[in-house]
Structure formats: C-alpha cells, structure tokens
C-alpha cells in the first residue's frame, strides 16, 4: 500500500524557519525518522520510504504554498494513490501553538495552500494534519505573522510536537485515520 504525505510550505531560505513552513519541517522529520532522503523531482522534493510494509511518498511541493494543489494532484496521479491514503500536513492559525488536529475532511479555513488542493482535486474529502501556530498578531498582520520566524519559546514548544506529528503520521499509515484520530486528537 502506498501513501502520499504532503508537507506544505514555501521553498527558499527566506521561508526556512517560518511558521507557515511547519509542514516542511514535519516532512523532513518523517523522512529522517524513516532513514530516507529528499531529491528534487517534478513539482516537489520527494522522499520515498517504507514503514511496516507500506510505501510512503513524502513530498514538499516546490510550487510555493498557494499552488500546492498542482504538486499534490500530480503526485497522487503519478503514484496512483487514492485521496483517502493522502495526508496533507499544514499550519493552522485557529489552533494554539503546537496543538495537533487530524481530520478526515473539511474546508480550507482560509489556508491558501489547502484552498488550492481542494480546487485542484475538486473535493475536500482527504485527510489532513493541522498543526497549530496560534494567532498572536494584530488585525491585518496575518501574512507577516505566518511568514514570520519562530520565537525561541515557540521553537522549544514545537520541537516535541514535530516528533509527535511524525508518530501520528506513522499511526495514520498503519492504523488508519479513525483509530489515529481517536488516539491522538484528544491528547
């Protein structure tokens, strides 16, 4: 069985340690945990690894956040992976920093990367792992906040949460979304 894990973010050093790139951070951590490495391929950096008899195709789209759907659709079709075996990993300002929330479907909640994926796939029925980055910004400064660097205290908080996200993704591919949501969403 194959799974697509799509960590969302923006390419380029200027975005490397920003809140909006937490999907890339988790994708990197998952690839490292499973002893893989990324290589640049069509529309994404790609890491293919095995975990408990399953193949994980981990991607970090190189299309920039707002065009993430192009890369996600391409890799779903190329690898012949159904939507229910895809997990999109992204930041969420509606959740407190570090909170992890897995969902089987849902709207875009104003997240442009998720909006593009929903448009390109013509459905909002696919699993996603939202990672809280908080919303500690004045009205009108959301873009500056999400594209801003982590503070030291936020980094300390996020490091163990990235490790938890990796465990949650491994649970998703082995136990499925329902059992994973039951095990992790209330923690």
CA 70 to chain centre: 15
Active site residue 20: yes
Considering the candidates 19, 20, 85, 111, report the single residue annotated as catalytic: 20
Q: What would the two tokens of residue 173 be? A: 């591919």
User: Nearest 5°: phi and psi at 59?
Assistant: -125, 150
Q: How far is residue 149's CA from residue 8's CA, in Å, rounded to a whole number?
A: 16
Q: Cα–chain-centroid distance for residue 157? A: 18
Burial (CB < 10 A; 0-12, 13-18, 19+), residue 148, is: middle
Question: Could you tell me if 166 and 33 are in contact, meaning their C-beta atoms sit under 8 angstroms apart?
Answer: yes
Catalytic site residues?
Answer: 20
């Amino acid at each position: 069985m194959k799974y697509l894990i799509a960590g969302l973010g923006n390419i380029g050093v200027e975005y490397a340690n920003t809140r909006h790139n937490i999907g890339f951070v988790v994708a990197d951590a998952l690839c490292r945990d499973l002893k893989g490495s990324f290589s640049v391929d069509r529309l994404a950096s790609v890491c293919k690894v095995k975990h408990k008899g399953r193949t994980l195709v981990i991607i970090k789209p190189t299309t920039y956040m707002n065009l993430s759907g192009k890369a996600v659709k391409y890799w779903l079709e190329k690898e012949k992976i159904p939507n229910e075996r895809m997990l999109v990993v992204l930041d969420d300002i509606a959740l407190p920093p570090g909170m992890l929330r897995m969902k089987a479907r849902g709207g875009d909640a104003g997240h442009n990367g998720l909006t593009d994926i929903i448009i390109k796939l013509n459905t909002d029925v696919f699993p996603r792992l939202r990672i809280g980055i908080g919303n500690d910004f004045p009205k009108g400064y959301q873009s500056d906040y999400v594209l801003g660097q982590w503070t030291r205290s936020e980094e300390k908080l996020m490091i163990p949460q990235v490790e938890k996200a990796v465990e949650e993704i491994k649970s998703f591919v082995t136990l499925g979304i329902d059992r994973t949501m039951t095990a992790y969403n209330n923690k």
